[in-house]
């Protein structure tokens, strides 16, 4: 990897607080493009628009998903903007490149009844394993935290008994997230059970926080006991469930954006899939001429009609 790519990756960490996984993914993307540019006789830092176009075309013909291609293009755009800002290049060759068209994927989420079943299942496990599972599920579902945010919470996050959690999210951005009484009590019970650790969710070695893999192993038996397909239960599905249930019950997008820690409200808008059902219920409940029997026969509103 050349020195300009190394400088770009260092900037991501120093200025944007990029996580190690993000840095690693960007390094891999840049290395893949560098191999393509070199094969065409060009250095990556001086790559032409034609080389970039042939690279993106190759991703498509190579069978990569549109989402992966979009991520690689995003990496290249940020790289060349960095080069332009640092006066290493006089132009940004990615400006005229079109982004791959992404399919609109609806977030996968659980029903309220399924979340209740998971919590009941977690509570049925004896000892500290049950306390840990209940605390993890309560906190994820009540706050909508990313699993990385949850696992990086220090033990001291709850010592004050405050109703708000200070969370450091993507890019080092901090936000305050309300924490309900049940989640606070579950976390406090977990802390009382030990062991001593600097982390709210310690790993096998309490000096270190629990890993994502360890968290996945924690959820697996809980889902099985609840009678829910374990493939449908993950920390991100619980985050989606939090957001979908909040929006369906009247939360506005701006508040939800703040709670989830999204930098762009466009990311939060994926949850508007719950709006047609909510609007139909609102008409049934409040319109003076509404007849529920007739409304039940009506086709559901399409998302475009809710704008």
Catalytic residues: 146, 170, 236, 239, 262, 271
Ramachandran region, residue 172 (left: φ > 0; alpha: ψ -120 to 50; beta: rest):
left
Neighbours of 188 (CB within 10 A): 15
State phi, psi for 281 to the nearest 5 degrees. Answer: -65, -40
Spell 130-144 as b/e; 16+ CB within 10 A means b.
bbbbbbbbbbbbbbb
Please give the Cα distance from 158 to 171 (Å, whole number).
Answer: 23
Mention every residue, 6+ apart, whose C-beta is less than 8 A from residue 296.
Answer: none
Inter-helix orientation angle 181-192/127-143, to 10°: 150
Please give the Cα distance from 133 to 223 (Å, whole number).
Answer: 11
Local structure of residue 164 (DSSP, 8 states) = E
In angstroms, what CA-CA distances link 242 with 130, 144, 271?
A: 22, 5, 10
How many helices (H) and strands (E) in the chain?
A: 14, 2
Residue 247: closest CA among 258, 257, 256: 256
Which residues are registered as beta bridge partners of 202? 209
């Amino acid at each position: 990897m050349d020195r300009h790519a190394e400088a770009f990756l260092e900037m991501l960490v120093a200025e944007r607080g990029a996580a190690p996984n993000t840095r690693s993914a960007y390094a891999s993307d840049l290395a893949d493009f560098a191999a393509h540019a070199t094969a065409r006789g060009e250095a990556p830092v001086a790559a032409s628009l034609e080389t970039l176009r042939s690279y993106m075309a190759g991703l498509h013909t190579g069978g990569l998903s549109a989402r992966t291609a979009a991520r690689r293009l995003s990496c290249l755009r940020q790289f060349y903007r960095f080069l332009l800002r640092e006066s290493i290049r006089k132009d940004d060759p990615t400006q005229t490149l079109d982004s791959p068209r992404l399919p609109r994927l609806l977030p996968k989420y659980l029903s309220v009844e399924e979340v209740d079943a998971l919590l009941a299942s977690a509570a049925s496990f004896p000892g500290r394993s049950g306390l840990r599972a209940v605390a993890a599920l309560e906190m994820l579902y009540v706050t909508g935290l990313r699993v990385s945010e949850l696992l990086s919470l220090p033990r001291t996050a709850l010592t004050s008994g405050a109703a708000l959690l200070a969370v450091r999210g993507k890019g080092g951005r901090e936000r305050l997230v309300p924490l309900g009484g049940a989640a606070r009590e579950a976390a406090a019970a977990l802390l009382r059970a030990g062991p001593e650790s600097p982390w709210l969710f310690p790993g096998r070695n309490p000096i270190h926080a629990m890993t994502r893999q360890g968290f996945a192993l924690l959820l697996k038996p809980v889902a099985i006991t609840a009678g829910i397909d374990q493939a449908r239960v993950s920390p991100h599905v619980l985050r989606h469930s939090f957001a979908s249930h909040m929006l369906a019950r009247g939360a506005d997008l701006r508040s939800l954006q703040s709670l989830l820690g999204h930098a762009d409200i466009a990311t939060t808008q994926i949850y508007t899939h719950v709006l047609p059902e909510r609007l139909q219920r609102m008409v049934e409940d409040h319109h003076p001429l509404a007849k529920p029997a007739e409304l039940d026969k009506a086709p559901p509103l399409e998302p475009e009609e809710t704008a």
